[in-house]
Amino acid sequence: MNAIAPRVSSTSASVLPSAEELDRALRDASPAEVISVALKAVGREKLALVSSFGTESATLLKVMADVDPAIPVIFLDTGWLFEETLAYRDTLISTLGLKDVRSIKPAEETLSRDDPDRDLWFSDPDACCRIRKVEPLARALKPFSAWLNGRKRFQGNTRADIPVVEDDGVRLKFNPFANVSREELEAIFVRAKLPRHPLAASGFRSVGCMPCTSRTAEGEDERAGRWRGRAKTECGIHTTKTS
């Protein structure tokens, strides 16, 4: 890795490198190195990993656990998740020895006001994602200075050119798996003997909320089953800067 030139934060006496400096330094780093640098840069109390506990999530969680299993993990329990996803979360917590998984739910007041009939996912999926994912995540990330996520360039669409580190509003956003290939993910699963998401064997290659997730056919993009038939490809947590 290249040396990281630090800068002094304008809001405190702490010294932090910029997103651009970190991205240059970590361009060819391994996922474990990226997580280690993030941990050193801001400290465990200010670093969170956001995980959907979806079909590929075990790999990033495994790498994180090998670095520090006490890094806080934020899980967005939207109220529309598959029971299999909730069970998989509990399985991975036990298997990997995760010490601080925080299940965050939407505000009941917001749900009662904006989605009383639980049909917003159909009439306005962007609004549904906003109240069930974007707003809860913004609330959960308030105490943190940086966060980790599992996006990969091979997933395509808006993810094809993601950097390893980016400026996400008031905090740094680390993408440790940006450079990782499908083959490398599979190798992590096999080498660590990680359990698979219960829905993976039945054709779900990417799992989100139940109403907006479908099976993926052979040859389709792995996220083709998300919001099928709509132009929508992201829930919004990766397209809206945090505050």
For residue 209, say whether it is annotated as part of any ligand binding site.
yes
Q: How many helices (H) and strands (E) in the chain? A: 9, 8
Is 212 annotated to bind a ligand? Reply is yes
Rounded CA-CA distance 216/102 in Å is 29
To the query of whether residue 235 is one of the catalytic residues in this protein, the response is yes
Q: For residue 148, what is the enclosing H or E element?
A: strand 146-148
Residues 6 or more apart whose CB falls under 8 angstroms from that of 62 comprise 96, 188, 192, 194
Catalytic residue among 76, 235, 237, 238: 235
Q: Specify whether the CB–CB gap between 134 and 236 falls below 8 A.
A: yes
Q: Check the annotation: does 129 bind a ligand.
A: yes
Measured CA distances, 191 to 159, 187, 197 (Å): 26, 6, 17
Catalytic positions: 235
Binding residues: 128-129, 209, 212
Binding residues for [4Fe-4S] cluster: 128-129, 209, 212
